[in-house]
Amino acid sequence: MSNQTDRRIVKSQNAIKSAFLLMLLEDGFDKITVKSITERADISRKTFYLHYVDKYDLLDSIVNKQLEELGVICEQKKEKGFIEGTVIWFHYFAEHQAFFAALFGSDSTVSFRKQLLQFIMHQLSLKLHRIRPEKDAEVILKFLGMAVLGIVESFVLRQLTAGTEDIARQVGELLEQNIANASVE
């Protein structure tokens, strides 16, 4: 019986997430309601609330999954050079462009930006080993993190004209230069 229950839970969650993602791409986050999700997923509101508190909780769940995938990519690209690794990272954003564009295009997804910024800053902190005494690691991480977040946002919203590889290489070079400048030799 517990196997059946587990399958029903997974089925409900998949239906909710699928409906939400389709609506996110079609209508944007701001227009989505719990009622519209449940209608599209063909489930009751009670079923929705068994799994999520509200649409923001659902969004956080989906964003966390995306950040987990990015984390795996970051682990895999450790063997690559800094610039090559950045190219791989930007290809991920290119593959999921519609999803990220929908999130960046919404006024209501501040938590997404914060989560992505924290993720970027954490990944950058792994590259900053020994900071020069006159430099403030927090300022450097925030500066570089905000810069990367801004470029990623412009990239997924297609506000940049260069190709994925060119943008990624430039970002990788800039990060590499700034990290080298802030670090003790």
Q: Is the dihedral of CA 170, 164, 67, 33 positive or negative?
A: positive
**39, 60: one domain:** no
Residue 133, pLDDT score: 81
Angle 95-105-74 from CA coordinates, rounded to 5°? 40
Do 12 and 93 lie in one domain? The reply is no
Domain that holds residue 29: 1-52
Residues 32 and 84 in one domain: no
pLDDT at residue number 185: 67
Q: Are residues 58 and 41 part of one domain?
A: no
> Is the distance from CB of 121 to CB of 88 less than 8 angstroms?
no
Same domain assignment for residues 86 and 145:
yes
The verdict on 142 and 84 lying in the same domain is yes
pLDDT in tens, 91-130: 999 999 988 988 888 877 888 899 999 999 999 998 887 7
Provide the domain count of the chain: 2
CA distance linking residue 36 with residue 29, whole number of Å: 12
How many angstroms separate the CA atoms of 63 and 65, rounded? 5
In the block, which residue shows the tokens 């989906």? 62
Cβ–Cβ < 8 Å for 153, 97 = no
Instruction: Look at residue 184 in the predicted model and tell me its pLDDT.
Output: 75
> Which of 52, 67, 88 lies at the terminal end of a domain, its last residue?
52
- Any residues with CB less than 8 A from the CB of 166 and at least 6 apart, and which? none
Same domain, 23 and 65: no
Which of 177, 183, 181 lies closest to 86, judged by CA?
177
pLDDT of residue 1: 46
Collect the ranges in the chain with pLDDT lower than 50.
Answer: 1-2
The pTM assigned to this predicted structure is: 0.81
Are 153 and 77 within one domain? Answer: yes
Alpha-carbon distance 120 to 81, whole Å? 17
pLDDT value of residue 3: 52
Burial of 99 (0-12, 13-18, 19+ CB in 10 A): middle
Do residues 74 and 19 both lie within one domain?
no
pLDDT of residue 4: 55
Same structural domain for residues 42 and 115? no
Instruction: Name the domain boundary from 52, 72, 92.
Output: 52
Query: Facing residues of 183 across strands?
Result: 131
pLDDT at 150: 96
